[in-house]
């Protein structure tokens, strides 16, 4: 199936995630453009996070250090890079054949959709707050289902159970890696101990 524009691909992603993933992976996008796209969605995440804090001020679940927009953007960018490499290597370890570009394109597209969702959520917070909470909850659950299909297609696993294994192993690897980094740099960062 061919998709004429990004809106059609977004709708296809919601309706038939596996098919949308195949269409997306069939696109020939240079790696430099993928890295640029990941940097762009990190910046957009930072801007929208800052905007939501300005429009709806209140206590944040994040440590105070992450409320600095530039630092938040760097953390998001680092998290995206870690996620790409974790999904790539754990997928390969579990028999997947996806390339780094396939995984990067998958994460870039899903993060792009997340940015669009954040815009809708901010509008709803200002107009219908209850609906915004329901949308976030539904998107979190259904987003996981979409992610499993995209991992499955990117790594050609032919099994949602295997893609779930890749996702769990990737998250475990990220947590382990971050724990090791924190311990190497002298224990918990100031202000983080209350959240661990």
Confidence of residue 189 (pLDDT cuts 50, 70, 90): very low
Residue with the two structure tokens 């809708």: 120
- If we measure between CA atoms, which residue out of 97, 113, 85 comes closest to residue 152? 97
Q: Which helix (H) or strand (E) holds 151?
A: helix 129-155
Q: What pLDDT, on the 0 to 100 scale, is given for residue 192?
A: 43
> What's the whole-number mean pLDDT along residues 116-125?
92
Please name the residues in contact with 140: beta carbons below 8 A apart, sequence gap of 6 or more: none
Number of Cα atoms under 13 Å in the Cβ half of residue 75? 13
Instruction: Kindly tell me if the per-residue pLDDT of 92 is higher than 80.
Output: yes
- Which residue ranges make up each domain of the chain? 6-195
In the predicted structure, residue 196 carries a pLDDT above the cut 70:
no
Look over the chain and give the mean of its residue pLDDT values, rounded to a whole number: 87
Query: Over the stretch 31-82, which tens digit does the pLDDT of each residue have?
Result: 999 999 999 999 999 899 888 877 776 666 666 666 778 888 888 898 899 9
Name residues whose C-beta falls within 8 Å of residue 132's C-beta, 6 or more positions apart in sequence.
Answer: 121, 124, 125
Average pLDDT over residues 123-151: 92
Backbone angles phi, psi at 64, to 5 degrees: -60, -30
Q: Say what the pLDDT of residue 186 is.
A: 52
* Six-digit token string for 150: 């995209």
Q: Is 95 left (phi over 0), alpha (psi -120 to 50) or beta?
A: left
């Amino acid at each position: 199936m061919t998709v004429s524009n990004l809106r059609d691909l977004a709708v296809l992603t919601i309706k038939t995630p596996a098919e949308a993933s195949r269409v997306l992976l069939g696109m020939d996008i240079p790696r430099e453009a993928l890295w640029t796209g990941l940097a762009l969605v990190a910046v957009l995440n930072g801007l929208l996070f800052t905007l939501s804090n300005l429009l709806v001020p209140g206590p944040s679940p994040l440590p105070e250090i992450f409320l600095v927009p530039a630092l938040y953007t760097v953390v998001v960018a680092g998290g995206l890079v870690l996620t790409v490499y974790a999904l790539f290597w754990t997928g390969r370890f579990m028999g997947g054949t996806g390339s780094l570009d396939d995984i990067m394109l998958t994460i870039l597209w899903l993060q792009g959709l997340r940015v669009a969702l954040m815009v809708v959520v901010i509008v709803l917070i200002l107009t219908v707050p209850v609906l915004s909470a329901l949308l976030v909850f539904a998107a979190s659950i259904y987003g996981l289902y979409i992610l499993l299909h995209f991992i499955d297609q990117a790594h050609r696993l032919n099994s949602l159970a295997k893609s779930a294994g890749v996702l769990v192993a990737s998250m475990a690897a990220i947590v382990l890696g971050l724990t090791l980094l924190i311990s190497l740099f002298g224990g918990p960062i100031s202000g983080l101990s209350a959240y661990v």
